[in-house]
Amino acid sequence: MICDLLMPEVDGFEVIAQLKASEETAATPILVLTGHELTAADKERLNGQVIGFCEKGPNAGSALRSWLAAAIRPAPRAGFAADA
């Protein structure tokens, strides 16, 4: 799921907290895509709740694609060199 933090009439932090508090949705991976500049306190509040962050803006599309590509890139298998 991709979630913004600042939405009309809804607080994304609270949406994420409610999703994680529900047994039915607790395992849902959440990526934050926001124009909000995350403070250290924001990051601490989201720690362990989301799988990553991307910033909105003119480069949001490419940033999101890069993040997704890195997230789905298979890990190197044990005993094999990553660039072999």
Residues 25-40 have pLDDT tens digits of 999 999 998 888 889 9
Place 84 in a pLDDT band, splitting at 50, 70 and 90: very low
* 31 neighbors 1 (Cβ within 8 angstroms): yes
Position with higher pLDDT, 74 vs 5: 5
Task: Provide, rounded to the nearest whole percent, the portion of the chain with pLDDT above 90.
Answer: 37
Position with higher pLDDT, 77 vs 18: 18
DSSP 26: T
Break the chain into its structural domains and give their ranges: 2-71
Position with higher pLDDT, 10 vs 22: 22
H or E stretch including 21? helix 12-21
Q: Which fold has domain 2-71?
A: Rossmann fold (3.40.50)
DSSP 29: -
Residues 6+ apart with CB under 8 A from 45: 13
Residue 5 has pLDDT above 70, yes or no: yes
Task: Provide, rounded to the nearest whole percent, the portion of the chain with pLDDT above 70.
Answer: 86
CA–CA distance, 74 with 78 (Å, rounded to integer) = 12
Residues 6+ apart with CB under 8 A from 44: none
